[in-house]
Amino acid sequence: MSTEREQAIFEAGIKLGALYHQWVGTPISPGTSPGLEKAIEKSVGLQPFVKQIHVSLDTGRMCPNTFGYSELQGLMFRVEIATRVGQASCRARLRPEGEYPLMEIVE
């Protein structure tokens, strides 16, 4: 049986991983990125144990295709999430580290 601390950490990690794989490839442009940021926050925020989430997308990494939009890539994500299980909490993030989208426990 896991502790509340372990479960809070697991919940943060699994939610970041699911978020990443669910949204990568989504059509996006600088004009639609604020709406997508909010949609991701609202979607992930519905899940159990999520207490707070903030998503921002780096529009500077967008390269429009022939049709004028980009596809969301992992390096565009900057996400902070807070989970709580019982008395234990976890803060984690997804952000670029060089050329890799790094997920890490912050606190």
**Residue 12: strand, helix, or coil:** helix
**Tally of domains in the chain:** 1
What pLDDT score does 30 carry? Answer: 93
| Per-residue pLDDT tens over the stretch 9-26 | 999 999 999 999 999 999
Please check whether residue 84 is in contact with residue 11, taking contact to mean a CB–CB distance below 8 angstroms.
no
CATH code for position 90: 3.30.1300.20
What pLDDT score does 1 carry? Answer: 84
Domain membership of residue 10 as a residue range = 4-105
Cα–Cα distance for residue pair 65/71, rounded to 1 Å: 9
| Per-residue pLDDT tens over the stretch 47-90 | 999 999 999 999 999 999 999 999 999 999 999 999 999 999 99
